[in-house]
Amino acid sequence: MAKDVVKIAFIGPLTGGVSSIGLGGRNSAELAVRLRNADPKSKYTYELVVQDDECKPNVGVQVATKVAADNAIIAGVTHYCSAVAMGTVGVYNRFGLPVVVWGAVLPDITYANNYKDVHRINGTMVNQSEVAAKFMTGLGYKKFAIIHDTTDYGKGHNKYFSEYLKKDGGSVVATFGVTADQQDFSSELTKIREMKPDVIFFGGLTPLGVRIRTQMEKLGITAEFEGTSGIKSDAYIQGIGKELAEGSVAFLEGAPWEKLPGGLTFAAKYQQQKFGEPPEAYGPFAYAAADLIIDAIEKVGPNRKKVREVLNATKNVDTIIGKVTFDDHRQNIVPLVTKYVVEDGKWVIWEDSSYGKGKRKLSGL
């Protein structure tokens, strides 16, 4: 007998400046669906309904409403961009669609409201900022200039990183907010050059980071370039080239999936499917989110309310990103943040890198 078809949604930025992350997330969620459909023990056949939010809040609300209003869709794997995720949480709550956010890191997505439909499998920028500040001051850096985009994402990173930096003995010599589509940073970077900071901390996404790092080089600024998870993508390295990217650092919440047995299986299965794009930094989170949703549907059937209740009760569940436990606001309690550095054209876990082993030194050390 043919199995009943159950639909789940994936929403992310499939076009625009951060499309590489969105496509990697989509492919990863699709991988979870394909693997489950190949399992003869599964009760249902799963179908992934894919929508492009373009990393724009207005578009995100439109596609979220479209998905949530479709009663055939039982749950969703949603959003990389924080501003989009913030704009859509009320939509999911209103329609009663359980979702698991797979990439957006603004704390307010889970903590500003008490929407029982909204879960998040990745950590928040609070986790990232705490580690990012302590790590860099621990290396001996003292003076920081901050450039952040003026979205909720960038402003949040500026807020939390600045707070933790002061606690750890660092100082902020300058802070500049820039729009996500700004092209020329000569004014901001010239002022920063005069202040001679040890580090330029960037709170924003890859396209902006590429422009800033490229223009730093043109102006002869030799400060270390520190980014957030927003630049932890292959597109960042491709955008500025191997040499300029060398030594850039970034942080990603969660255990390094490359080190987990499930992560290695994920990578092998992903490669077998011959997707046209790499999974990127948040692909494993999208896969794990889809897997959690499918597990819930297998347990209680294709019923939104029952699936939401199962997701709410997630405690100590094994996934490819490690154990997942949702707190009272359905935020995964992420036990650690992984540090990465670009070495020879690839993002490498800090402890495994030549930098971490003392064979190479970051700028200014």
Taking only the tens place, the pLDDT of each residue in 206-263 is 999 999 999 999 999 999 999 999 999 999 999 999 999 999 999 998 888 888 889 9
Own/partner long-range contacts of 136-141 (Cβ < 8 Å, ≥24 apart): 136/170, 136/199, 136/224, 136/226, 136/249, 137/165, 137/168, 137/169, 137/170, 138/168, 139/362, 139/365, 140/365, 141/170, 141/198, 141/199, 141/224, 141/364, 141/365
For residue 296, which amino acid is it? A
pLDDT at 335 exceeding the cut of 90: no
3-state secondary structure the chain: CCCCEEEEEEEECCCCCCHHHHHHHHHHHHHHHHHHHCCCCCCCEEEEEEEECCCCHHHHHHHHHHHHCCCCEEEEEECCCHHHHHHHHHHHHHHCCCEEECCCCCCHHHHCCCCCCEEECCCCHHHHHHHHHHHHHHCCCCEEEEEEECCHHHHHHHHHHHHHHHHCCCEEEEEEEECCCCCCCHHHHHHHHHHCCCEEEEECCHHHHHHHHHHHHHCCCCCEEEECHHHCCHHHHHHHCHHHHCCCEEEEECCCHHHCHHHHHHHHHHHHCCCCCCCCCCHHHHHHHHHHHHHHHHHHCCCHHHHHHHHHCCCCEEECCEEECECCCCEECCCCEEEEEEECCEEEEHHHCCCCCCCCCCCCC
The pLDDT value given to residue 260: 85
Choose the CATH number for 126-253+338-352 among 3.30.390.50, 3.20.20.70, 3.40.50.2300, 3.40.50.150.
3.40.50.2300
Let me know: does 76 contact 9? Beta carbons within 8 Å: yes
CA 351 – CA 249 distance, rounded (Å): 12
Provide the percentage of residues in the chain whose pLDDT is more than 90.
95
Whether 5-123+256-334 and 126-253+338-352 share one fold: the answer is yes
Taking only the tens place, the pLDDT of each residue in 161-197 is 999 999 999 999 999 999 999 999 999 999 999 999 9
pLDDT at 281 exceeding the cut of 90: yes
Q: Where are the domains of the chain?
A: 5-123+256-334, 126-253+338-352
The pLDDT value given to residue 258: 86
Taking only the tens place, the pLDDT of each residue in 137-148 is 999 999 999 999
The pLDDT value given to residue 2: 87
The pLDDT value given to residue 254: 86
Q: Nearest-CA neighbor of 112 among 104, 35, 149?
A: 104
Neighbouring C-alpha atoms within 13 Å toward the C-beta of 309: 8
| Max Cα–Cα distance, the chain, nearest Å | 73
On average, the pLDDT of the chain sits at 97
Provide the percentage of residues in the chain whose pLDDT is more than 70.
100
Taking only the tens place, the pLDDT of each residue in 26-56 is 999 999 999 999 999 999 999 999 999 999 9
Looking at domain 5-123+256-334, what is its CATH homologous superfamily?
Response regulator (3.40.50.2300)
Q: Which residue has the tokens 């927003």?
A: 230
231 vs 11, 17, 163, 208, CA distance in Å?
Answer: 20, 11, 21, 9
Average pLDDT, integer, range 45-71: 98
Angle between helices 283-300 and 19-37 (to 10 degrees): 40
Give the pTM.
Answer: 0.95
pLDDT at 154 exceeding the cut of 80: yes
